[in-house]
């Protein structure tokens, strides 16, 4: 098996439309999804450009992963509606909506059944 010189390798990559650049100033890469976040500290990042399409390769570094809690936001109109329909205070209506994960019908049923 013969070795390919770095000059020849660069020439072959250029002929294929492939360009690679080391991004040495990157300190942290953060990947966020709806339920978790992955943080990579001190990675080696390479930008690869293949025929106009840019891709990134991330290698190494210290990886930490954490689950994200999604805060439920309940509109004031919903709280008011539940309070009016059930005859309870706004605070109690808000608590019922939080327990019902924002479901109006379920919150009203919880307050009227108990």
Tens digit of pLDDT for each residue in 94-103? 999 988 888 9
Question: What is the tens place of the pLDDT at every residue in 8-56?
Answer: 877 877 778 788 889 999 999 999 988 899 999 999 999 988 888 899 9
> Which of these, 21, 15, 10, lies nearest to 54 by C-alpha position?
21
Q: What's the whole-number mean pLDDT along residues 60-76?
A: 86
Classify domain 6-67 by CATH number.
2.20.70.30
Q: How confident is the model at residue 114 (pLDDT cuts 50, 70, 90)?
A: low
Sign of the torsion formed by the C-alpha atoms of 90, 91, 93 and 94: positive
pTM score: 0.52
Q: What percent of the chain clears pLDDT 70, i.e. is strictly above it?
A: 96
Residue 112 in 3-state DSSP? helix
CATH number of 76-113: 1.10.8
Q: How many CB atoms lie within 10 A of CB 93?
A: 24
Does 6-67 match 76-113 in CATH topology?
Answer: no
**What are the residue boundaries of the structural domains of the chain, listed by start?**
6-67, 76-113
pLDDT of residue 4: 67
């Amino acid at each position: 098996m013969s070795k390919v010189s770095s000059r020849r390798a660069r020439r072959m990559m250029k002929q294929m439309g492939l360009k690679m650049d080391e991004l040495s100033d990157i300190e942290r890469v953060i990947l966020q999804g709806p339920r978790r976040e992955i943080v990579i500290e001190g990675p080696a990042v390479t930008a690869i450009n293949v025929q106009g399409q840019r891709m990134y390769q991330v290698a190494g570094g210290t990886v930490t992963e954490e689950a994200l809690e999604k805060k439920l936001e309940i509109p004031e109109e919903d709280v008011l509606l539940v309070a009016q329909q059930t005859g309870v205070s706004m605070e109690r209506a808000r608590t019922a909506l939080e327990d019902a994960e924002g479901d109006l019908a379920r919150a009203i049923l919880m307050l009227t059944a108990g």
